Amino acid sequence: MLTDLIAQDLNVIFCGINPGLKSAAEGHHFSGRSNRFWKVLNLAGFTPYEIKAIDDATILDFGYGLTTAVERATARADELSNEEFHHSIEAFKSKMIHFRPKHIAFLGKPAYIAFTGKKQISWGLQSEDFCGAKAWVLPNTSGLNRGFSLNDLVHHYGEMYSKI
């Protein structure tokens, strides 16, 4: 099981789709060898150095938190069913309302689409707030997401960083 790293009034809560098997087994966010999350956060300006997955809790020191849309760990996010997203919506919304982040960054489109019912969304800042927070949709940093190079990811995350 992967525990949220979350606190009241954070600047950003990064929301992964669901935990990978390695992250769930080790209890650390984005610990898969090929996941580029920590490198991208650093290169985009969110952190002054690349946090190691084992030190993931230090992300709170920078005013950021980590959660997932769906708790069940899988090897691939596309193994999740629509029902799993549907059953996660209310708990996720309650969590966001309780913790009141300024921004929620959905990492990948599936959770945001499932949680809002929107059919077409673009990358970046969304036109409507989500649970009182500015909503962002950023490309997923999973090593399985080869549609985005490291430079592409840094560009998208850097755009968010420059506007918060």
Q: Which helix (H) or strand (E) holds 44?
A: helix 37-44
DSSP state of 86: H
- Tokens 């069940």 correspond to what residue? 72
Q: Which of 12, 13, 9, 28 is closest to 92 using CA atoms?
A: 13
Confidence of residue 80 (pLDDT cuts 50, 70, 90): confident
Q: Which residue spans within the chain are E strands per DSSP?
A: 12-16, 64-68, 103-107, 124-125, 134-138
Asked if residue 141 lies in contact with residue 40, where contact means CB atoms within 8 angstroms, the answer is: yes
Q: What is the pLDDT of residues 25-43, one digit of tens each?
A: 999 999 988 899 999 999 9
pLDDT for res 102: 98
Compute the average pLDDT of residues 71-75. 77
Residue 79 has pLDDT above 90, yes or no: no
pLDDT at site 140: 92
pLDDT of residue 117: 92
* Residue 76 confidence (pLDDT): 76
Q: Quote the percentage of the chain above a pLDDT of 70.
A: 100
pLDDT of residue 87: 85
> Which domains occur in the chain, in start order?
12-162 (3.40.470.10)
Query: pLDDT > 90: what percent of the chain?
Result: 74
Residue 152, SS3 per DSSP: helix
Report in angstroms the alpha-carbon separations of 78 from 110, 132, 164. 9, 28, 30
Amino acid 86: pLDDT: 84
pLDDT given for residue 21 in this prediction:
82
Check whether 1 has a pLDDT greater than 80: no
pLDDT in tens, 116-164: 999 899 999 999 999 999 999 999 998 777 789 999 999 999 999 999 9
